[in-house]
């Protein structure tokens, strides 16, 4: 019955379109709309079918899709068709990303265009430009409090500069990733201003209440995101004389997706940036899209329906671009953002592998891989046509959201282990070389997260201060080992800008009153391009890290086993300091690679009998893909130096790569 209703409604809409869009070539649009309309109608009906204006809102939604398709440039439509024909294109090992703030990296968008050769020198071909939309100065949350979703911060450039950046990147075979903050707006957005002015339609764009009755019900079960700086989840707006939901900061108003007008507007904004040339859209804070009394208002079923609906609608207009789910949640929850009960991603094709990132840092502090191995075993299998975004550092803090059961299985006490990690990386623990800062300290629970640049957390800053050459060497080795893990794990590696040069903490944020209360600014650097030139001076830290990382990227791109087809197998070894896994391409009989990393400050050995029993390395001499040399070996035990890794294959297999 429901299918018949949707079919009849589609016929009515198409009949109206035949008069309204008579001169437009909508052949591909009609084909995709017909293929996806039942799913769109079903999801839209599940969310909004109880409303009297449901049919009217469905027509409005479809009209927005048609307009976006008409506005899509011809070159991007051709790219859509090419990606439809090669639907696994983003699973290839060729892709290597970098995330950056345009102002910190290159000043503005035109400056970023000029720096594209630098990125290509490193081997980066996917660039995530952190939020560049118009935000209030001093209350921007690093670009995530947007006051105009269709305009650029004038300090960054113009919308035309975005189009120019996208075009230049396509010429170079590079992908452009942009953010759309889907959960909230700035309190200075036009919608918020009109809500303050008393317009009921725009008050319904947000969660606003005349008294504390409903907010108190929400607060009973909702956690605090920023307990230090923004306790609670509601803010009193004196001008509006209403309480408004502000889950993140008091100047970020949460959008009410129970209102279909909100969904249509935000979808239209996503399509707008896709039409400016974005290959990938990072959807920020997707776990918070649906609020429900009596719950944490995170990871609700309706939030997934909203993402599925966004994906289906984008498939009609532009099937080429991808979605990234920015959901820093438990492994059992993050896997749902690909889409449940499916083979291909019904929601987002890419998701942040925050669990892997945090587990790597645990291995750094403990100098063993016990929790890393345990946590990876608990990481659910993802869909075939979906992939991880693997990273060591990003613009955000390092959370310690490990599963308590995994911590206990690794012979640690959850509370004390997290306390140790915070103390280690902030340099409180005796003998620690960590130079991070705590973030998000909750005085009620004692919970905290960690801020800091990779090089400073990994001990390079302390080593340079002391002039200890051995400590410097070990820190450089550790930095490269961490990157080797994200480059080989399976998924798209994402490098944080400045890490390719060993950039240290930037404490200048303390001099800016608008930033001093947010320690995450310590690892959001402004690149010193004079220092970056030292990457050409042999023996410098910058040269060793940059060239080491460039070589890793080059080898990755020539290693088919590193493509992401769910082709990773964790190998359990007796040595707790080692992290070992196998990568093997599903359609190639040879070319398997064993990745082995030692997180200890002492040499460790890998018993090759464990690999031989799996049929690995029984014939041909073992070789490291990076150096082309054979690691030290005695009585079938391989020595792995401190803070070092190997990408192991046989000479026979290497010859066939």
**Per-residue pLDDT reduced to its tens digit, 150-159:** 999 999 999 9
Summarize the confidence of residues 353-362 as an average pLDDT.
97
Nearest partner of 98 among 181, 174, 182, 180, judged by Cα: 174
pLDDT of residue 652: 53
The catalytic residue positions are 284, 326
pLDDT interval class at 66 (50, 70, 90): very high
Q: Does 35 score more than 50 pLDDT?
A: yes
The pLDDT of residue 155: 96
Distance (Å) of CA 413 to CA 331, 409, 417: 20, 9, 6
User: From CA 284, how far away is CA 179, in angstroms rounded?
Assistant: 7
Q: What is the dihedral of CA 315, 179, 401, 503, to 10 degrees?
A: 140
**509-522 mean pLDDT:** 94
Residue 591 has pLDDT above 50, yes or no: yes
d(CA 457, CA 449): 13
Q: In what order do the strands lie in the sheet with 234-237?
A: 208-209, 242-245, 234-237
Q: Per-residue pLDDT for 254 more than 50?
A: yes
525-571 pLDDT, tens digit per residue, is 999 999 999 999 999 999 999 999 999 999 999 999 999 999 999 99
Q: Which of 221-235, 472-486, 632-646 has the lowest mean pLDDT?
A: 221-235
Which spans in 182-300 are helix H?
190-196, 200-203, 213-219, 260-275
Residue 1: what pLDDT?
A: 47
Q: Is residue 55 predicted with pLDDT exceeding 90?
A: yes
Burial of 414 (0-12, 13-18, 19+ CB in 10 A): middle
Residue 411: the pLDDT is 97
Q: What is the pLDDT, as a whole number, of residue 374?
A: 97
The whole-number average pLDDT for the span 572-597 is 94
Residue 651 is predicted with a pLDDT of: 65
Closest CA to 126 of 144, 100, 146: 100
Residue 222 has pLDDT above 90, yes or no: yes
Q: What gap in Å lies between CA 353 and CA 326, rounded to an integer?
A: 10
Predicted pLDDT at 447: 87
Nearest 5°: phi and psi at 605?
-115, 150
Banded model confidence at residue 248, pLDDT cuts 50, 70, 90: very high
Contact status, residue 487 vs residue 568, Cβ threshold 8 Å = no
Q: Which residue has the tokens 């009921």?
A: 200
CB 180 within 8 A of CB 149: yes
The pLDDT tens digits of the residues spanning 445-483 come to 888 999 999 999 999 999 999 999 999 999 999 999 999
pLDDT band at 21 (very low <50, low <70, confident <90, very high): confident
- CA pair distance 597, 359, nearest whole angstrom: 13
Position 12 confidence tier, pLDDT thresholds 50, 70, 90 = confident
pLDDT at 128: 98
Mean pLDDT calculated for residue range 102-126: 98
Q: Which is more confidently placed, 591 or 475?
A: 475
State what percent of residues in the chain have pLDDT above 70: 98
What strands, in cross-sheet order, belong to the sheet with 604-607?
604-607, 637-640, 633-634
Helices (H) and strands (E) in the chain, counts: 25, 25
Find how far residue 327's CA is from the centre of its chain: 8
Mean pLDDT of the chain: 95
Choose the most confident range, by mean pLDDT, from 15-29, 66-80, 643-657: 66-80
* Confidence label for 388 from pLDDT (cuts 50, 70 and 90): very high
Q: Looking at the predicted structure, is the pLDDT value of residue 261 above 80? A: yes
Cα dist. 358→60, 397, 495 in Å? 43, 10, 15
Flag whether pLDDT at 257 surpasses 90.
Answer: yes
Q: What tens digit of pLDDT does each residue of 402-455 get?
A: 999 999 999 999 999 999 999 999 999 999 999 999 999 988 788 899 999 999
Give me the pLDDT at residue 227, please: 86
Q: Is the pLDDT of residue 343 over 70?
A: no
> Does position 210 have pLDDT exceeding 50, yes or no?
yes
pLDDT above 70 (res 135): yes
């Amino acid at each position: 019955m429901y299918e018949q209703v949707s079919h009849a409604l589609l016929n009515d809409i198409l009949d109206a379109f035949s008069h309204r869009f008579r001169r437009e070539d909508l052949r591909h649009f009609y084909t995709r709309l017909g293929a996806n309309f039942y799913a769109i109608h079903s999801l839209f009906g599940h969310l909004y079918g109880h409303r009297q204006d449901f049919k009217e809102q469905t027509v409005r939604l479809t009209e927005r899709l048609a307009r976006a398709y008409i506005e899509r440039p011809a070159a991007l439509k051709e790219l859509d068709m090419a990606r439809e024909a090669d639907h696994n294109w983003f699973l290839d090992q060729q892709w290597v990303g970098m995330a950056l703030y345009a102002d910190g990296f290159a000043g503005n968008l035109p400056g970023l265009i000029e720096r594209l050769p630098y990125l290509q020198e490193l081997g980066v071909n996917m660039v995530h430009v952190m939020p560049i939309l118009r935000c209030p100065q001093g209350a921007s949350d690093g670009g995530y409090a947007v006051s105009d979703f269709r305009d650029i911060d004038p300090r960054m450039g113009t919308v035309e500069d975005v189009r120019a950046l996208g075009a230049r990147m396509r010429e170079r075979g590079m992908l452009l990733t942009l953010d759309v903050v889907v959960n909230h707006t700035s309190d200075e957005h036009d919608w918020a201003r009109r809500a303050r002015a008393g317009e009921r339609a725009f008050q319904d764009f947000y969660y606003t209440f005349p008294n504390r009755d409903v907010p108190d019900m929400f607060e009973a079960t909702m956690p605090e995101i920023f307990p230090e700086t923004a306790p609670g989840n509601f803010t009193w707006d004196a001008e509006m004389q209403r309480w408004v939901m502000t889950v993140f900061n008091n100047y970020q108003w949460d959008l009410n997706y129970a209102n279909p007008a909100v969904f249509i507007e935000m979808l239209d904004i996503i399509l707008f940036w896709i039409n400016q040339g974005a290959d990938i859209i990072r959807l920020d804070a997707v776990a918070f899209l649906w609020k429900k009394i009596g719950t944490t208002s995170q990871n609700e079923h309706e939030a997934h329906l909203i993402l599925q609906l966004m994906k289906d609608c984008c498939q009609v207009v532009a099937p080429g671009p991808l979605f990234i789910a920015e959901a820093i949640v438990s492994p059992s929850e993050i896997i749902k953002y690909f889409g449940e009960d499916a083979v291909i991603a019904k929601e987002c094709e890419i998701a942040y592998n925050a669990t892997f990132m945090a587990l790597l840092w645990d291995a750094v502090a403990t100098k063993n891989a016990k929790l890393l191995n345990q946590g990876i075993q608990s990481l659910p299998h993802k869909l075939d046509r979906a992939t991880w975004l693997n990273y060591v550092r990003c613009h955000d803090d390092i959370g310690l959201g490990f599963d308590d059961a995994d911590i206990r299985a690794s012979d640690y006490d959850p509370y004390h282990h997290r306390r140790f990690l915070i103390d280690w990386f902030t340099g409180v623990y005796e003998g620690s070389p960590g130079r991070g800062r705590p973030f998000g300290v909750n005085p009620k629970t004692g919970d905290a997260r960690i801020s800091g640049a990779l090089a400073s957390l990994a001990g390079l800053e302390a080593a340079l201060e002391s002039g200890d050459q051995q400590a410097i060497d070990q820190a450089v080795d550790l930095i490269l080992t961490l990157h080797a893990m994200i480059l080989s794990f399976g998924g798209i590696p994402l490098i944080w800008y400045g890490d390719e040069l060993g950039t240290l903490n930037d404490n200048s944020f303390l001099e800016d009153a608008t930033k001093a209360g947010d320690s995450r600014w310590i690892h959001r650097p402004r690149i010193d391009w004079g220092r970056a030139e030292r990457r050409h001076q042999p023996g410098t830290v910058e040269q060793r890290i940059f060239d080491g990382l460039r070589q890793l990227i080059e080898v990755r791109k020539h290693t088919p086993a590193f493509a992401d087809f769910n082709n990773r197998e964790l190998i359990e070894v007796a040595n707790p300091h080692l992290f070992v896994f196998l990568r093997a391409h599903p359609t190639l009989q040879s070319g398997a690679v064993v990745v082995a990393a030692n997180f200890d400050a002492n040499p460790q050995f890998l018993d090759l009998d464990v690999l031989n029993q799996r049929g690995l390395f029984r014939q041909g001499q073992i070789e490291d893909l990076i150096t082309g040399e054979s690691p030290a070996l005695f009585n079938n035990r391989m020595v792995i130096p401190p803070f070092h890794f190997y990408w192991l294959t046989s000479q026979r297999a290497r010859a066939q790569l």
